[in-house]
Structure 1
Amino acid sequence: MIAAWVRELSSDDPLAGLEVGEVPEPVAPAHWSVVDVRAAALNHHDLWSLRGVGLRAEQLPMVLGTDAAGVVDGREVVVHGVVGGPSGHGVGPDEPRSLLSERYPGTLAERVAVPTWNLVDKPAELSFVEAACLPTAWLTAYRMLFTTGGAVPGQRVLVQGAGGGVATAAVLLGAAAGLEVVVTSRDAERRERALRLGAAAAVESGARVPRADLVLETVGRATWSHSMRSVRPGGTVVVAGATSGDPDAAELTRLFFQEITVRGVTMGSKQDLEQLLAFLARTGVRPLVDATYPLADARAALARLAAGTQFGKIVLTT
């Protein structure tokens, strides 16, 4: 079968170690299923894997990809890409949590083997391309907003960085749920796009904003101080990344004096994914798709992701 896989690791030029071509068919052990992949979305995790972050040379070759939607025995499904951890479904409770393409081959392939427990029914209202966009960035945004952040209609949410996949999802989900979403970005075009997607306001990074009930933080050092200044006393900051590095100062004095809650999020649970799919099916909200490529053109798709010019998800189809 055809797949996009890592031949060698390269921190300077991630695409140098990428191969797109034939790999052996997946084998499903007990309690696993083989999914015929119809669509698989790209994530920055794929580029980090090519650089060797979270992936070691002795694990190669490794098929890339964490997100997919497809078919198993006539059943249309979405793949929850987290394997192992406390649930232990399909691998046992002692195996640490990982994502597909870290310990087990990923989804950028014509077929992928996953624990059967990880399969969620795809709503008929969503296409395979739309559904494939959800299990990483959209799932993270959903968990940040609702499961961990506890956002309710009428609250103000500050989203740091308007261009990323999590931020874009948060704007669309938040607006549909009746939240007042304020986004920040250094880029005027991205601010304008966020407004068109439903943000109530879009401002320059670091600009003064009304105090927010909830702040979604994925940037880190470049925005942390602004996040801490912008959340209301007793409010919550939910962190799901630090693309600009760790903050130079945690601002603990402000944190304890104003009784701010800081909570971390990594991906989301299978239950979160089921709720997210239902949310989209019922509200009509759909993920923004930047471009689709056939699986055989995975190199071009990953090059677009690496260039950072996309707005929305990049999806491979089979």
Structure 2
Amino acid sequence: MFAAYATHFDRDRPLTGLEMGERPRPEVPEHWALVRVRAASVNHHDLWSLRGVGLAQEALPMVLGCDAAGVDEDGNEVVVHSVIGATGHGVGPDERRSLLSERYQGSFAEYLAVPRWNLLPKPPELTFAEAACLPTAWLTAYRMLFTAADVRPGDSVLVQGAGGGVATAAVILGAAAGLRMLVTSRDPAKRERALALGAEVALAPGERPPHRVDAVLETVGAATWQHSVRSLRPGGTLVISGATSGQALPDAELTRIFFLELRVVGTTMGDRDELAALLSFCQAKGVRPLIDSELPLDRAPEALARVERGDVFGKIVLTS
């Protein structure tokens, strides 16, 4: 089968480790399913894998890709929950959880094998490309908003970095749920597009928001940390699920955090039940993932290069 896969690691030039070509069709253990992949979305996780983060040398070559939507052996249209081993379904009960493309071959291929428990019905209202956007970035945004931040309609939420998959998902989901969404971006065009998606306010980096917010969603890290902390109201919540700009903080704002009794909550991904809730939310509210572009699988290097440059608004989806 044709696939996009990692052959070696390079922290500075991650795309040098990406190869395109034939790989063996995955074996299907008992209680697993074989999915014909119709669409797989691209995530920053794929670049981190090519840098050797979360992926062991002995696991190479590894097919990249966390997210997928496709058709199982019985002809069912399905969405794949990409966390393997969280509950023991389909794997040993003591196996630590991992994402597809860390321990098991990923979704940038014509076929994918996953535990049958990881399959959810694809809503007929969603295209395969739209459904493939949900299991990582959109599920992370859903969990950040409604589980970790625990916000309610009418609350205000600041999203750092307006263009990425998690950020655009958070704006769309939050606006649909009656939240007052604010965003930041270096790019004026991305700020305008965020407003069109439902954000009430779009700020330049470091610009003071018109009012302090109930929660901040942080995926950027060091570059925006101080602004995030200073934007919160007393008792507010900062939810962090990534650090694309690095982890070294010049000032962690610890005094402000304890004096204002702020909550700092770390989170990653979401569970199968949350993915089912997200799918239901999209059906009920008519919410659709924002797709930057759809590219055939053989253009995976182009897609990953755009993600590396930050030249994306929404999600890039690979189709096969």
Query: Do the two structures share a fold, i.e. TM-score over 0.5?
Result: yes
Task: Give secondary structure in 2 for the equivalent of 1:45.
Answer: helix
Shift of 1:183: 0.6
Shift of 1:258: 1.4
Which residues in structure 2 correspond to 1:38-77 (within 5 Å)?
38-72=38-72, 73-77=74-78
**2:307 aligned residue:** 305
Q: Distance in 2 between matches of 1:79 and 1:153?
A: 29
Q: Distance in 1 between matches of 2:109 and 2:185?
A: 35
Q: Distance in 2 between matches of 1:206 and 1:306?
A: 23
**1:282 aligned residue:** 284
Q: How many pairs were matched up?
A: 317
Which segment is superposed worse, 97-106 or 252-261?
252-261
**2:193 aligned residue:** 193
Which residues in structure 2 correspond to 1:158-169 (within 5 Å)?
158-169=158-169
Counterpart check, 1:30 vs 2:30: yes
Shift of 1:46: 0.9
**2:297 aligned residue:** 295
Which residues in structure 2 correspond to 1:1-318 (within 5 Å)?
1-72=1-72, 73-85=74-86, 87-209=87-209, 210-246=211-247, 247-318=249-320
Shift of 1:186: 1.9
Counterpart residue type for residue 223 of structure 2? A
Identical positions, percent: 65
Counterpart residue type for residue 13 of structure 2? D
Task: Give secondary structure in 1 for the equivalent of 2:311.
Answer: coil
Shift of 1:298: 2.1
Shift of 1:11: 2.3
- Asked whether the equivalents of residues 3 and 297 of structure 2 are also in contact (C-alpha less than 8 Å), the reply is yes
Task: Give secondary structure in 2 for the equivalent of 1:234.
Answer: strand
Counterpart residue type for residue 53 of structure 1? V
Superposed CA deviations along residues 82-134 of structure 1, whole A, max 9, x for unmatched, are: 1113x121112211111100000000011101011111111111010100011
Superposed CA deviations along residues 274-307 of structure 1, whole A, max 9, x for unmatched, are: 1111111111111111111112222232233233
| 5+ long unaligned stretches in structure 1 | none
Task: Give secondary structure in 1 for the equivalent of 2:178.
Answer: coil
Q: Distance in 1 between matches of 2:132 and 2:50?
A: 21
Q: Distance in 1 between matches of 2:296 and 2:238?
A: 39
Which segment is superposed worse, 285-294 or 249-258?
249-258
Counterpart residue type for residue 12 of structure 1? D
Task: Give secondary structure in 2 for the equivalent of 1:277.
Answer: helix
Shift of 1:207: 1.3
- Asked whether the equivalents of residues 213 and 232 of structure 2 are also in contact (C-alpha less than 8 Å), the reply is yes
Q: Distance in 2 between matches of 1:91 and 1:292?
A: 33
Q: 1:251 to 1:306 in 2, by over 3 A?
A: closer
Counterpart residue type for residue 126 of structure 1? L
Shift of 1:57: 2.4
Superposed CA deviations along residues 71-91 of structure 1, whole A, max 9, x for unmatched, are: 111111100111113x12111
Q: Distance in 1 between matches of 2:301 and 2:167?
A: 25
- Asked whether the equivalents of residues 292 and 314 of structure 2 are also in contact (C-alpha less than 8 Å), the reply is yes
Q: 1:12 to 1:256 in 2, by over 3 A?
A: closer
Counterpart residue type for residue 197 of structure 2? L
Task: Give secondary structure in 2 for the equivalent of 1:244.
Answer: coil
Q: Distance in 1 between matches of 2:246 and 2:16?
A: 25
Counterpart residue type for residue 291 of structure 1? S
Counterpart residue type for residue 76 of structure 1? E
- Asked whether the equivalents of residues 164 and 312 of structure 2 are also in contact (C-alpha less than 8 Å), the reply is no
Q: Distance in 1 between matches of 2:75 and 2:108?
A: 20
Counterpart residue type for residue 238 of structure 2? V
Q: Distance in 2 between matches of 1:228 and 1:131?
A: 33
Which segment is superposed worse, 197-206 or 307-316?
307-316
| 5+ long unaligned stretches in structure 2 | none
Counterpart residue type for residue 316 of structure 2? I
